[in-house]
């Protein structure tokens, strides 16, 4: 349970860091507006409460041919891409952990049960055929007292 909770928290933290890095600051924007990606402009436009900065971003979006009304769809698409990337990384991590800790399962019955061990010969059951191609019939291990 603790491992499950830790996994969920790490996924949430990874998504929060990924989304937080997709915005821009006013200083970075004013230094070089063309260096900021469209998605970062849209995310900053939607997240900022600074109205003059929001107007600067709207002007830059207009120069790039994007209306502020397109921003929610663009941000949603980016969020889905980030979530898919984090999910793939989490699945990959889980597979790697399982591969290293042998959590792949195996037989339903433990090997200590002799009844469920695999049969080494050709004639385990009477309906099977031997090496020469003849039906096993009463020569099968299943037909003999004591089996094997």
CA distance 140 to 136: 5
15/77: higher pLDDT: 77
Average pLDDT over the chain, rounded to an integer:
79
Could you please report the per-residue DSSP string of 17-76? HHHHTT---HHHHHH-GGGS-HHHHHHHHHH---HHHHHHHHHHHHHTT--GGGHHHHHH
Please report the pLDDT score of residue 4 as a whole number. Answer: 59
Is the entire prediction scored with pTM above 0.85?
A: no
- Is 15 a residue whose pLDDT tops 60? no
Q: What is the pLDDT of residues 69-118, one digit of tens each?
A: 999 998 899 889 888 888 888 888 888 777 777 676 655 555 555 555 66
Tokens 């939607």 sit on residue: 46
Please report the pLDDT score of residue 96 as a whole number. Answer: 78
- Is 1 a residue whose pLDDT tops 80? no
- Radius of gyration in angstroms for the set of CA atoms belonging to the chain, rounded to a whole number: 32
Please report the pLDDT score of residue 19 as a whole number. Answer: 53
């Amino acid at each position: 349970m603790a491992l499950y909770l830790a996994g969920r928290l790490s996924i949430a933290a990874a998504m929060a860091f990924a989304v937080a890095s997709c915005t821009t600051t006013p200083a970075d924007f004013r230094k070089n507006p063309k260096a900021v990606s469209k998605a970062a402009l849209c995310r900053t436009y939607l997240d900022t409460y600074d109205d003059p900065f929001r107007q600067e971003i709207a002007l830059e979006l207009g120069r790039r041919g994007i209306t502020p009304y397109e921003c929610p769809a663009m941000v949603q698409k980016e969020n889905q891409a980030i979530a898919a990337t984090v999910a793939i990384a989490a699945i990959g991590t889980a597979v790697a952990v399982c591969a290293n800790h042998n959590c792949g399962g195996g037989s339903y019955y433990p090997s200590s049960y002799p009844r469920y061990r695999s049969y080494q010969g050709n004639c385990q059951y009477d309906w099977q055929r031997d090496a020469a191609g003849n039906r096993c019939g009463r020569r099968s291990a299943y037909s003999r007292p004591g089996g094997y």
